């Protein structure tokens, strides 16, 4: 093999010359340029020449969210807006902390399916499908549950300690619409809200007060 080795060594320059030139990384990745234009497929790409390993790494999920609020829960997103390396790759994560007694109220993700993975604690988890059938279970450490895109679901901490969950999503910007906030945190006139939800006037006024809405 020596002769071939020599041949190989001699032709280093030739080897180096032969390589498929790929100046554009459009096929590899498109790190989000958060200051650039957005389109339906995501953010514009950061200049590949300026991409470093730091564009592929995100540390935010290691920090516990602050659950000192009414719902005793916190969500820490790692979507493409927080983690530009995810742009266009069809994937996102989020950390969910639910303190004892806490809850992630009924919500949907408009743009992605979700897998909910319990790292610590015990969580009652519910999913309702479009035929109104409810799927209810208690998840423990190591369990995962899938919520198909666009369907209502919620979680309640049923244990004595904080539950920690990692949620994975099938899109870089899954979105999140919490029903309570969508209904009660804005200025949608109460009369319309009552008509469109069948909720009582007293209930609507109360929750508008709670969630910061008006009208």
Locate tokens 């200025």: which residue? 187
* Residue 153 marked in a binding site: yes
* Residue 194 marked in a binding site: no
Site for a copy of itself in 23-52 (CB under 8 A): 23-30, 33, 36-45, 48, 52
Note whether 196 binds a copy of itself by CB under 8 A.
Answer: yes
- Sign (positive or negative) of CA dihedral 132, 114, 100, 181: negative
Asked whether the beta carbons of 71 and 103 are under 8 A apart, the reply is yes
- Three-state secondary-structure class, residue 172: coil
Note whether 190 binds a copy of itself by CB under 8 A.
Answer: no
Which of residues 85, 121, 163, 165 is near a copy of itself by CB under 8 A? 85
Helix 190-197, helix 201-211: angle, nearest 10: 120
* Residue 117 marked in a binding site: no
Note whether 73 binds a copy of itself by CB under 8 A.
Answer: yes
Note whether 187 binds a copy of itself by CB under 8 A.
Answer: yes
Which of residues 3, 35, 68, 160 is near a copy of itself by CB under 8 A? 68
Give Cα separations from 59 to 13, 95, 180 (angstroms).
40, 11, 30
- The tokens for 1 are 């093999």
Closest approach, Cβ 47 to a copy of itself, in A, equals 10
């Amino acid at each position: 093999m020596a002769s071939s080795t020599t041949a190989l060594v001699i032709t280093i320059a030739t080897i180096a010359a032969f390589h498929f030139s790929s100046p554009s990384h459009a096929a590899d990745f498109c790190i989000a340029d958060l200051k650039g234009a957005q389109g339906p497929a995501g953010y514009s790409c950061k200049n590949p020449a300026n991409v470093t390993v730091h564009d592929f790494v995100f540390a935010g999920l290691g920090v516990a969210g602050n659950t000192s609020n009414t719902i005793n829960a916190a969500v820490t997103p790692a979507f493409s807006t927080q983690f530009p390396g995810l742009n266009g790759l069809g994937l996102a994560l989020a950390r969910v902390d639910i303190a004892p007694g806490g809850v992630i109220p009924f919500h949907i993700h408009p743009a992605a399916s979700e897998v909910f993975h319990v790292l610590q604690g015990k969580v009652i988890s519910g999913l309702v499908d479009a035929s109104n059938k409810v799927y209810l279970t208690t998840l423990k450490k190591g369990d995962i549950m899938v919520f198909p895109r666009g369907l209502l679901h919620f979680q309640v901490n049923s244990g004595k300690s904080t539950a920690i969950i990692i949620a994975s999503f099938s899109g870089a910007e899954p979105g999140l619409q919490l029903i309570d906030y969508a209904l009660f945190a804005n200025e949608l006139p109460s009369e319309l809200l009552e008509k469109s939800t069948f909720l009582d006037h007293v209930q609507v006024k109360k929750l508008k007060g709670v969630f910061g809405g008006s009208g």
